[in-house]
């Protein structure tokens, strides 16, 4: 199942590039799935890591995911998928609320995604300085609000001992990036 998810993600994201980079987009879902695997995630969660952006950024639909991967993977991908027709702040608030109220797998998927995004931002920030924020639709202060809010919400209803091992890494990176 994980290999099928990888193949679908590779095909769906073919030709796409990462923001601020010439890297193929697929490096992001690959890293997210690796974070989830290293954190002890289930096969369904690792599949969702591969597929977390396909509905949002490609022609693949939620029903395509359901037909190929079943309800558990579909529910994770659907919980993570933003409605791009909504304004930026409203989409991000929805993600924060989803992290706050979601089950452990939903929290893990979103935090793994945000961790990988933030690792890329942090690396670019070290290379390019504060100009890195010019490449985003929402600038430094809004990004700070968003990433800090995810960090504040991720432990809601969850003890720190039960959280995946990458949660503290995410919290620390938020502090380093937005110090």
DSSP 97-109: HHHHHS-HHHHHH
The pLDDT value given to residue 19: 74
The pLDDT value given to residue 138: 86
pLDDT in tens, 69-100: 999 999 999 999 999 899 999 999 999 999 99
Task: Report helix, strand or coil for 17.
Answer: strand
In 3D, which of 82, 71, 76 has the Cα closest to residue 50? 76
Mean pLDDT of 53-73: 95
Written as six digits, the tokens of 93 are 């608030």
Written as six digits, the tokens of 75 are 């529910």
Q: Which residue has the tokens 């096969």?
A: 43
pLDDT in tens, 144-159: 999 999 999 999 999 9
Catalytic residues: 56-57
Q: Residue 24 pairs with which residues in a beta bridge?
A: 17
Does the structure show a pLDDT above 80 at 37? yes
What average pLDDT does the structure give for the chain?
94
Written as six digits, the tokens of 24 are 């193929």
The pLDDT value given to residue 135: 80
pLDDT grade, residue 141 (50/70/90)?
very high
The pLDDT value given to residue 125: 86
Contact assessment for residue 5 and residue 51, using Cβ atoms and an 8 Å cutoff:
yes
Domain ranges of the chain: 2-177
Q: Given this structure, which CATH class describes domain 2-177?
A: mainly alpha
Provide the 10 A C-beta neighbour count for residue 11: 12
The pLDDT value given to residue 5: 97
Instruction: State the Cα angle at 86 between 36 and 25, rounded to 5°.
Output: 40
Please compute, for residue 8, the number of CA atoms within 13 A of its CA located in the half-sphere on the CB side: 25
């Amino acid at each position: 199942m994980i290999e099928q998810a990888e193949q679908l993600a590779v095909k769906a994201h073919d030709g796409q590039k990462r923001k601020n980079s010439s890297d193929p987009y697929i490096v992001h879902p690959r890293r997210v799935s690796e974070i989830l695997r290293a954190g002890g995630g289930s096969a369904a969660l690792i599949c969702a890591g591969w597929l977390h952006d396909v509905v949002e950024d490609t022609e693949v639909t939620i029903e395509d995911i359901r037909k190929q991967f079943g309800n558990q993977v579909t529910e994770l991908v659907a919980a993570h998928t933003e409605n791009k027709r909504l304004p930026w702040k409203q989409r991000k608030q929805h993600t924060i609320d989803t992290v706050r109220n979601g089950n452990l797998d939903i929290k893990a998927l979103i935090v793994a995604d945000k961790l990988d995004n933030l690792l890329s931002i942090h690396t670019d920030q070290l290379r390019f300085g504060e100009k890195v924020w010019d490449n985003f639709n929402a600038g430094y202060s809004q990004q700070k609000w968003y990433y800090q809010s995810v960090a504040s919400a991720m432990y809601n209803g969850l003890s720190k001992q039960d959280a995946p091992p990458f949660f503290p890494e995410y919290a620390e990176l938020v502090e380093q990036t937005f110090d």
